[in-house]
Structure 1
Amino acid sequence: MKNPTLVLASTSPYRRTILEKLMVPFEIASPECDETPGENESPQDLVLRLAKTKAESCRVSEPSLIIGSDQVCIVNNRIVGKPLTKEKAIEQLLAQSGQTITFITGLALHNTGKGTTQSVIDTFDVHFRQLSRKQIETYVDKEQPLNCAGSFMCEGLGIALFERLTGDDPNTLIGLPLIKLIDLLNREGFSVL
């Protein structure tokens, strides 16, 4: 594909900020995707399906490489969503105190010229400190992580909640694994350097 347009199939400001780190021009597209999990669908299958669907659902008029990504947070073998309320955020963080939680991110790259899609999974573990209810309430009041799976923002004060982080790419935790994305782009002949 000659001079493909890079497209991010996401309206997430966090994913946009991550992709900007690569210093390559890209466009934003709003994907069409029903994010309802399938019956007995594993978290890994769910994020792969959604990443592919997002990448393949965007309609563009020129040859493009479209990036789709989706993420779930796993706590005690259950998918945890965005809290949306202060009370739910506190409840989630209390359940995560002293625990290790896992973020599973599906990443897809759709080549519109070839009609092919590559996809991979990346995981990242967050090891929480033992936290008191007061510490959690203070954190939630200060950062208001109500639209974040797991009820924290690691790029802000949320870092104070953790003992350590384990994974290959810290960008995975925020929802767009750049190291794996660069690998997928390289396979398509698109170099960021």
Structure 2
Amino acid sequence: MPDLVLASSSQYRQQQLASLGYRFRIATPDIDERPLPSETPRAIAQRVATMKARVVAQKFPKYVVIGSDQTGVCNGQLLVKPNVFETAQDMLLSFRGQSVCFFTAVSVLDPSGKTLCDVVKTEVQFRDFTKREVNAYLTLDQPWDCAGAIKSEAHGPLLFKSVRSEDPTAIVGLPLIRTSEFLRECGINPLELVDAKTLQNTTEREPE
């Protein structure tokens, strides 16, 4: 089974990938993530994810490399990381009753140079929450490093009314359904690592 590298310093993506049993190294890509003129949020995510994978692949040419990126947009405005409380508060208050779209891209590059890439769209409808609720959420999650100040893996869903996506894991930062599909094409599947003895013990167990 090929070796795997995650081209990301994001602890959230690392936790996601590890949760499915993947064994991988971590490498931080050093790239310019600023959007190009007139570039759409979807295109930004796809380009940056692929750039991350390609830059790290230069250091790990014999590895399968995963790059990922996420952008968000509300009312035509590209979302950024707030960095401080006041900016995060203003962002979230502007989301009340609004629909926010997140575009999460994954790019998988194998040692032959083949690239598999896709972008998953997630639409989040926010409810009409109060300023006090926003302040409480920010105190709990401190989402200064998250685009749009949303930590969907923590208390963020308390502000949601609904979520629409073909991959519910994408909003966290890495679309696991599409990622695992691409990794299987590259010969990496955690389910293949389960040894025969464990499988036998499981299948022979009497149902309760």
TM-score bracket for the superposition, by shorter chain length: over 0.9
- The AA in structure 1 aligned to 2:178 is K
List structure 1 runs of 4+ shifted beyond 3 angstroms.
59-62
SS at match of 1:50: helix
Q: Deviations over 1:117-151 (max 9, x none)?
A: 11111111111110122221222223222111111
Equivalent-residue separation in structure 1 for 2:141 and 2:44 (angstroms): 29
Equivalent-residue separation in structure 2 for 1:152 and 1:62 (angstroms): 35
Equivalent-residue separation in structure 2 for 1:143 and 1:130 (angstroms): 19
| Count of matched residue positions in the alignment of Structure 1 and Structure 2 | 190
Matched, 1:37 2:53: no
Partner of 2:82: 83
Equivalent-residue separation in structure 2 for 1:24 and 1:167 (angstroms): 24
Partner of 1:105: 104
RMSD of aligned alpha carbons: 1.3
Equivalent-residue separation in structure 1 for 2:7 and 2:47 (angstroms): 14
Q: Deviations over 1:82-131 (max 9, x none)?
A: 1111111110011101111111011100112x112111111111111101
SS at match of 1:170: coil
Equivalent-residue separation in structure 2 for 1:177 and 1:61 (angstroms): 23
Matched, 1:93 2:113: no
Moved more, 86-95 or 182-191: 182-191
SS at match of 2:150: coil
SS at match of 1:68: strand
Identity rate, percent? 34
- The AA in structure 2 aligned to 1:90 is Q
Equivalent-residue separation in structure 2 for 1:15 and 1:41 (angstroms): 24
- Gaps of at least 5 residues in structure 1 are none
Deviation of 1:38 (Å): 0.6
Equivalent-residue separation in structure 1 for 2:76 and 2:21 (angstroms): 37
Partner of 2:129: 131
Contact 2:2 2:187 in 1 (8 A): no
Equivalent-residue separation in structure 2 for 1:85 and 1:62 (angstroms): 38
Contact 1:72 1:80 in 2 (8 A): yes
Alignment of 1:4-15 (within 5 A): 4-15=2-13
**Max radius of gyration: which structure?**
2
Equivalent-residue separation in structure 2 for 1:18 and 1:127 (angstroms): 23
Equivalent-residue separation in structure 2 for 1:47 and 1:36 (angstroms): 11
Equivalent-residue separation in structure 2 for 1:46 and 1:154 (angstroms): 21
SS at match of 1:131: coil
Equivalent-residue separation in structure 2 for 1:29 and 1:69 (angstroms): 12
Equivalent-residue separation in structure 2 for 1:131 and 1:84 (angstroms): 22
Contact 1:182 1:192 in 2 (8 A): no
Contact 1:5 1:62 in 2 (8 A): no
Q: Which one has a larger percent strand, Structure 1 or Structure 2? A: 1
Partner of 2:26: 28
- The AA in structure 2 aligned to 1:186 is R
Equivalent-residue separation in structure 1 for 2:97 and 2:59 (angstroms): 46
Deviation of 1:178 (Å): 0.6
Partner of 1:63: 62
SS at match of 2:169: helix
Equivalent-residue separation in structure 1 for 2:148 and 2:110 (angstroms): 32
Give the direction of change, closer, same or farther, for the CA distance of 1:116–1:92 in structure 2 (3 Å limit). same
Moved more, 35-44 or 147-156: 147-156
